[in-house]
Structure 1
Amino acid sequence: MVAPVNNTTAAAASGLSSVLGTNKAMGRDAFLKLLVAQLKNQDPLKPQENSAFVAELAQFSSLEQSMGVNDRLDQMMLQNQGMANANVVNMVGQVATVKGSLVTTDGSGIGVPVAFSQDGASDKTVIQIQDASGKIVRTLDLGARPTGISKITWDGRSDDGIVQPAGTYAVNVKSNDADGGTVVVSQETSGTITGVAFDKGYPVLKLSNGVNAPVSDLLRVETPPKTP
């Protein structure tokens, strides 16, 4: 049997609709307005029992406390994010190594550092350097390489010895073990941090080699060597 809807229930429902509108999430003010609406529209011959009224007050108190906790947590998160962003900004001028396969040359023929890491020892490791059009301008046969980080220097020249123009180049590393199996390679790129941008609140490092890397791709930070 369906319970009849009395005046108090109907008035409370009407009050709830007017308070919430299209927003179904009840906040502190909405809850208090609904409670007042219930008291105003209750049947004077059958007033709300004290226990029910106390229960609603307890709900209001609990709601108020939880909202206060949420507000404090939001403030703490903003403060922590601000401190983290300030720490990242302080990295400007440092040399950062990030995940990535791009390097930049200034076209002067000065050596460009290239770094990568292998999960296992390789019997043959080959590096191919491609220009912006995808053309392979240099192939470097490094032979066998041990597990861990390897660092080499590309002289900024093509296979026929021509200095390549200034720009950003892609470095592709392929490694195989003695049985011809593929060795997993993680590529890295390094550059001086020249600035920090913020994408939706998250810091992105701007490196001198033209790479923009999110902080999540940061592997290590080093102080640049002092110029004599």
Structure 2
Amino acid sequence: MTITTASSATTGTVAMAPTKGLAGNFDTFLKILTTQLRQQDPLSPMDATTFTSQLVQFASVEQAIQTNTKLGELTRLARASSTTSAMGLLGQEVSARADRLSLPAEGDVTIRYRLPKPAAEVTVSVLDAKGRVVGTVVGSRTAGENAVSWNGIAPDGQRLPAGEYDVRIAAKTADGSPLAAEQFLRGRVQAIERKDGDLQLRVADALVPLDTVSLVRQPGPSS
């Protein structure tokens, strides 16, 4: 089981610091205000409206910081809850929308997609990090789910480095009109990771956002 999350201890400490500092300043402000009121000239009293306005503004700022602190705590609790829920997906077989693949060091990789209806032509292109096409496969034209294998061999005949690559699928009808193809990954959830604040699932050695999962099922004996 692999779960990678960011620690919230430091965040909690930092969030509480402004509130504690403001509370101390607020007490000091009240002491100064009380002292000034006691020592004011009876013949020229201070403007109570100004003091009251300052007091209200100071209290409003304190309340706002406390509210932000509570919201931060709720956010951390929500993240912890979502992580706990995602743990139930470990080892499960899922299908998730994805336009990337993870090429292993050896062997082929499977590229999956769905067609809304039969196509006259399907071309599957694999691109590297610079957007260059490093592989092309003729895809199945059947309506519904399709799968093709890519051997990871570049046009020059060399095996490409293991890692993640982008996938683009171009499908056309008989009259040449483009046909939308939905790309997806299928496999067991190998790990749960948090990336850029969002939960990601590692499926077929590739990371996919949790909200892209469209199907979850118990893996079969042969999975």
Above 0.5 in TM-score? yes
Question: Superposition pairs for residues 25-64 of structure 1, below 5 Å?
Answer: 27-37=22-32, 40=35, 44-45=40-41, 46-64=44-62
**Deviation, structure 1 residue 81:** 0.8
Greater RCO (Cα-Cα under 8 Å, separation 6 or more): 2
**Deviation, structure 1 residue 221:** 2.7
Match of 1:101 in 2: 100
Return the letter of the residue paired with 1:127. Answer: V
Q: Does 1:190 align with 2:186?
A: yes
* Rg comparison, structure with higher value: 1
Question: Superposition pairs for residues 156-195 of structure 1, below 5 Å?
Answer: 172-195=168-191
**Deviation, structure 1 residue 56:** 3.6
Q: Does 1:78 align with 2:73?
A: no
Q: Is the 8 A contact 2:119 2:171 kept in 1?
A: yes
Partners in 2 of 1:75 and 1:169 — Cα distance? Answer: 35
Match of 1:90 in 2: 88
Return the letter of the residue paired with 2:40. Answer: P
Match of 2:114 in 1: 117
Q: With structure 2 as the length reference, what TM-score do the two structures score? A: 0.62
Partners in 1 of 2:83 and 2:162 — Cα distance? Answer: 30
- CA RMSD, 1 decimal: 4.1
**Deviation, structure 1 residue 205:** 1.8
Q: Does 1:203 align with 2:199?
A: yes
Q: With structure 1 as the length reference, what TM-score do the two structures score? A: 0.61
Return the letter of the residue paired with 1:140. Answer: V
**Deviation, structure 1 residue 152:** 2.8
**Deviation, structure 1 residue 199:** 2.6
Cα deviations by residue, 1:61-120 (Å, 9 ceiling, x for unpaired):
4444333333222211111110001112221101232312315568678xx653213466
Question: Superposition pairs for residues 11-26 of structure 1, below 5 Å?
Answer: none
Q: Is the 8 A contact 1:105 1:168 kept in 2?
A: yes
| Length, aligned pairs only | 192
Q: Which consecutive unaligned segments of at least 5 residues does structure 2 have?
A: 1-17, 154-158
**Deviation, structure 1 residue 186:** 2.9
Q: Aligned residues: percent identity?
A: 15
